């Protein structure tokens, strides 16, 4: 059946052109704002949290230490929220976790690790390790804090280097657990920390002997951590990958360990359509890693949905689940009222609204399945434990140790052995191939379709305006994909991508016009020069040529 443009198309296009002209007419000061400059540091703050020994009806975690002590980048209310994010299930005794007490080998005191997000002007990544501090480790905690509850190490950073951050925190955990002594040599202090200003957090105090680390009353300053903290704080390296790749490398294989390629493409579709999505799991590592992987797969489209890899179970955060705006939330309690409920523990997806598949859905699923089959032997992880390891009281099976020893540290650092339960571990080449499959399936054909639907108004030749013709776009898409694109067109992610492409198109067009004008001027000058030279040659020899401004 022939599809035609509606009679209201011209009116909508004219309105879009008028709106864009109004936008261009606004002063830049009204449209732009200065974002925070890229911080010249690896992280904002490092925190240690724990549970006081005094009895409480409801155990509450408390801030024990903070580096750097000043300036305080987050407000007191933000710190309170961060504490909730550090214990998203509430503060529970260590015995409630499934990990048994085992001999002190290879970071065995690490209980779990996960990631949360904070949204300021730029995204802040909260990297968290829960650890058990043994009774014989009396380096700075003393007896004031209950060791039956997990202590928390938290790094707040604007850098998406998840694997590197976890590796650093595991080294800090080793320093605490193994009673590392005071450093034998002093470390240089970064310039921005030499003359700190402002106050530390109100629940902490600063000692003159070590003013860079603020601590709770009665806590000894953990000066033995200072060399590691200073070194990592001031470290800097040039990123070799996109931000989304740093997020995908250490998390994507966890998502593929929970779901089939078909289900992952379904999740991908739900993310593109900006539905209300809740991921559920009792394992907070699995929960945060799967959400980070799924939401990073949509790059270069930018999700405007609220993304929380972990949401605390406190009443303060619950209203987010009833928000009319799109969200992707990781929750440790079952909430099946969302548009899409994803149960990571059972590998199930509950669709409470009809989920429209993206174009060539079956084709994308088949490509991903074939890719996994080709790498099956190389990516399948041996069992962590066996009857032999139980009898010999070894921490891990030798085959598992050998397999993980050969893994890329950007993907599976050694500390992941303690808390990442996964069926697969991908190598960089496979991760890149999967990213490329999803990218090539949607982005290039979408971009080509969009570009043929640009309409440019040149009534003001000095300021042409280009807008996107939505009706023309829907006329060009295959008829079987119309429902998907009608829904996709209404998302903020699509609109933002349109704005980026429109601006690029207009800049290129403007550059092309300027180039044509310059070529015209050069040709005009060249012809004029030739004309003057010919005139000069034809004049009598006694007549001198007149100088002209065109030469």
- Kindly write down the DSSP assignment for every residue of 450-468, as one continuous string: HHTTEEEE-SSTTS-EEEE
% the chain with pLDDT above 70: 77
Could you tell me how far CA 132 lies from the centroid of its own chain? Answer: 28
270 assigned to some structural domain? no
33 assigned to some structural domain? no
Q: How many CA atoms lie within 13 A of 202 on its CB side?
A: 6
Q: What pairing do the DSSP bridges indicate for beta strands 62-67 and 210-215?
A: antiparallel
Q: What pairing do the DSSP bridges indicate for beta strands 110-119 and 123-131?
A: antiparallel
- Where do we find the tokens 């002093």? 186
- Where do we find the tokens 């040599």? 185
Token duo for residue 105: 């080998």
175 assigned to some structural domain? yes
103 assigned to some structural domain? yes
Q: How many CA atoms lie within 13 A of 237 on its CB side?
A: 8
Token duo for residue 522: 């050069």
What's phi and psi for 48, nearest 5 deg?
Answer: -125, 130
115 assigned to some structural domain? yes
Taking only the tens of pLDDT, the chain with its 551 residues reads 445 555 455 555 455 545 444 444 444 333 333 334 444 789 999 999 998 876 667 778 999 999 999 889 999 899 999 999 999 998 888 876 654 434 434 447 899 999 999 988 889 999 999 999 887 776 677 677 888 889 999 999 999 999 999 999 999 998 888 877 666 567 788 877 887 788 899 999 998 888 999 999 888 888 888 989 999 999 887 788 888 899 999 999 999 999 999 999 999 999 999 999 999 999 999 999 999 999 999 999 999 899 999 999 999 999 999 999 999 999 999 999 999 999 999 999 999 999 999 999 999 999 999 999 999 999 999 998 776 666 666 778 889 999 999 999 999 999 999 999 999 999 999 999 999 999 999 999 999 999 888 887 666 666 667 778 888 899 889 889 999 999 999 999 999 999 888 888 777 665 555 545 555 566 656 665 555 555 555 555 544 444 433 33
382 assigned to some structural domain? no
Domain count for the chain: 1
pLDDT computed for residue 489 by the predictor: 93
pLDDT computed for residue 532 by the predictor: 56
| Of 204, 212, 145, nearest in space to 176 by CA | 145
| Of 49, 47, 91, nearest in space to 73 by CA | 47
Q: Write out pLDDT tens, residues 140-184.
A: 776 778 888 899 999 999 999 999 999 999 999 988 888 776 665
444 assigned to some structural domain? no
Mean pLDDT score of the chain:
83
Label residue 364 exposed, middle or buried (CB < 10 Å: 0-12, 13-18, 19+): buried
pLDDT computed for residue 460 by the predictor: 63
Q: How many CA atoms lie within 13 A of 336 on its CB side?
A: 6
- C-alpha separations of 82 from 31, 123, 332 in Å: 32, 14, 17
- Output Rg (C-alpha) for the chain, integer angstroms: 30
284-296 vs 261-272: helix axis angle to the nearest 10?
70
- Where do we find the tokens 């640009």? 454
- Whole domain around residue 110: which residue ranges? 45-238
Q: What is the DSSP string of 222-279?
A: -GGGHHHHHHHHT------S-HHHHHHTTTHHHHHHHS-HHHHHHHHHHHHTT-EEEE
Dihedral of the CA atoms 101, 107, 109, 114 (nearest 10)? -120
310 assigned to some structural domain? no
Whether the CB-CB separation of 287 and 281 falls below 8 Å is answered with yes
Whether the CB-CB separation of 517 and 471 falls below 8 Å is answered with no
| Of 354, 348, 334, 357, nearest in space to 278 by CA | 334
Q: Give the 3-state secondary structure of residue 61.
A: coil
Q: Is the pTM of this model over 0.75?
A: yes
- C-alpha separations of 52 from 56, 61, 200, 201 in Å: 9, 8, 20, 18
């Amino acid at each position: 059946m022939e599809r035609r443009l509606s009679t209201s198309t011209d009116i909508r296009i004219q309105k879009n052109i008028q709106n864009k002209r109004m936008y261009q007419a606004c002063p830049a000061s009204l449209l732009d704002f200065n974002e925070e400059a890229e911080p010249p540091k690896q992280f904002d703050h490092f925190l240690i949290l724990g549970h006081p020994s005094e009895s409480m009806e409801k155990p509450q975690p408390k801030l024990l230490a903070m580096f750097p002590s000043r300036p305080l980048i987050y407000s007191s209310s933000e710190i309170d929220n961060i504490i909730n994010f550090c214990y998203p299930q509430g503060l529970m005794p260590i015995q409630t976790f499934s990990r048994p007490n085992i001999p002190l080998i290879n970071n065995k005191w690490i209980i779990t690790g996960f990631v949360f997000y904070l949204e300021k002007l730029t995204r802040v990544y909260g990297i968290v390790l829960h650890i058990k501090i043994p009774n014989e480790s009396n380096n700075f905690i003393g007896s004031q804090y209950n060791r039956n509850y997990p202590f928390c190490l938290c790094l707040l950073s604007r850098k998406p280097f998840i694997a590197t951050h976890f590796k650093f925190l595991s080294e800090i955990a080793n320093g605490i657990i193994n009673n590392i002594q005071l450093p034998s040599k002093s470390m240089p202090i970064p310039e921005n920390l030499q003359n700190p200003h402002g106050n530390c957090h109100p629940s902490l105090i600063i000692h003159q002997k070590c003013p860079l680390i603020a601590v709770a009353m009665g806590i000894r300053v953990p000066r033995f951590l200072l060399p590691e903290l200073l070194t990592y704080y001031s470290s800097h390296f040039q990123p070799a990958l996109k931000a989304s790749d740093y997020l995908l490398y250490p998390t994507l294989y966890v998502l593929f360990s929970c779901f089939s390629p078909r289900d992952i493409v379904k999740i991908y579709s739900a993310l593109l359509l900006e539905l209300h999505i809740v991921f559920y799991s009792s394992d907070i590592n699995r929960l945060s890693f799967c959400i980070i992987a799924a939401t990073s797969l949509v790059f270069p489209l930018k999700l405007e949905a609220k993304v929380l890899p972990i949401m605390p179970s406190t009443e303060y955060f619950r209203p987010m689940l009833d928000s009319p705006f799109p969200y992707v939330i990781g929750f440790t309690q079952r909430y099946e009222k969302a548009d899409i409920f994803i149960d990571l523990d059972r590998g199930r997806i509950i669709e409470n609204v009809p989920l429209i598949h993206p174009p060539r859905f079956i084709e994308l699923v088949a490509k991903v399945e074939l890719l996994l089959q080709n790498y099956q032997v190389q990516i399948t992880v041996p069992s962590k434990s066996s009857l032999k390891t139980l009898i010999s009281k070894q921490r891990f099976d030798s085959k598992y140790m050998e397999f993980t020893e050969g893994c890329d540290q950007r993907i599976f650092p050694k500390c992941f052995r303690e808390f990442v339960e996964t069926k697969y571990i991908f190598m960089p080449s496979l991760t890149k191939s999967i990213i490329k499959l999803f990218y090539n399936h949607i982005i290039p054909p979408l971009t080509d379709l969009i570009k043929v639907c640009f309409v440019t108004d040149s009534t003001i030749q000095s300021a042409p305006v280009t807008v996107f013709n939505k009706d023309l776009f829907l006329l060009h898409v295959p008829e079987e994909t119309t429902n998907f694109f009608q829904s996709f067109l209404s998302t903020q992610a699509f609109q933002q991508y349109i704005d980026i492409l429109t601006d690029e198109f207009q800049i290129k067009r403007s550059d092309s016009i300027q180039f044509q004008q310059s070529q015209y001027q050069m040709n005009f000058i060249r012809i004029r020069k030739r004309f003057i030279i010919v005139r000069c040659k034809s004049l009598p020899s006694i007549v001198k040529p007149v100088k002209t401004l065109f030469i």
